[in-house]
Amino acid sequence: MASRPTINFTKLDGLVPCIVQDTRTRRVLMLGFMNQEAYDKTVRDKRVTFFSRSKQRLWTKGETSGNFLELDEILLDCDQDTVLIKATPKGPACHTGADTCFQETNDHPFDVHTLEAIIHDRKANPRKGSYTNTLLDLGINKVAQKVGEEAVELIIEAKDNNKDLFLGEASDLLYHYLVLLTAKGYTLEDVLSVLKKRHQK
């Protein structure tokens, strides 16, 4: 996370508007207000906390529902008086039960980044019986071996015209490749960064 910004709390009697955006989908989830104490608590606890104007106290989103907003990043606008928070919601953001306070659906499409996030979560929070955790526990050599095996199987299927088998092997290779990246402590973004640099040459 970037260094803590200097926020101008003077314009609204000690408060600043705080826009919360889903890090993954980029959907705007809600708008709240922060004072200095709420901001400090958000940074410290890594969960978004507002100042409730109606209750006149700090209010951590999800403190009663469990639908916390896990802090990912804080950005400040050009006038330093509005905060944009990128967060990962742990449930609906609106008190009505809606995904957002603007009645929009906040769908998380399943893509390669979603799969990578699941693998990272398994590494951070192991689950009994998880194939991903079984692989990670076996170590780098075994994971690398599986990537090699899946690559060979994909090559074999590429020589035939069975769509289902080919796509199945392609899926297996992609999954095991992401497990290997995770085991090595790298991310897909690290790989894409290398490709981007090559593209610019």
Percent of the chain with pLDDT over 90: 91
Q: Per-residue pLDDT averaged across 75-86, rounded?
A: 96
Q: What burial class does residue 29 get, using C-beta atoms within 10 Å of its C-beta: 0-12 exposed, 13-18 middle, 19+ buried?
A: buried
Q: d(Cα 140, Cα 183) in Å, to the nearest integer?
A: 6
Q: Per-residue pLDDT averaged across 41-45, rounded?
A: 97
Q: In the chain, what are the domain boundaries? A: 1-109, 112-200
Task: List, for residues 5-38, the tens digit of each pLDDT value.
Answer: 689 999 999 999 999 999 988 999 999 999 999 9
Q: Which fold has domain 112-200?
A: Helix Hairpins (1.10.287)
For 39, 93, 148, 149, the CA distances from 158, given in Å and listed in that order, are 54, 45, 15, 14
User: Hunting for tokens 């289902």 — which residue is that?
Assistant: 164
Q: Per-residue pLDDT averaged across 75-102, rounded?
A: 95
For 35, 61, 82, 85, 162, the CA distances from 7, given in Å and listed in that order, are 10, 21, 8, 13, 59
Radius of gyration of the chain (CA): 22
Given a contact cutoff of 8 angstroms between Cβ atoms, the answer to whether 20 and 27 are in contact is no
* CATH architecture type of domain 1-109: Roll (3.10)
pLDDT at 104 over 70: yes
Q: d(Cα 93, Cα 101) in Å, to the nearest integer?
A: 7
pLDDT band at 164 (very low <50, low <70, confident <90, very high): very high
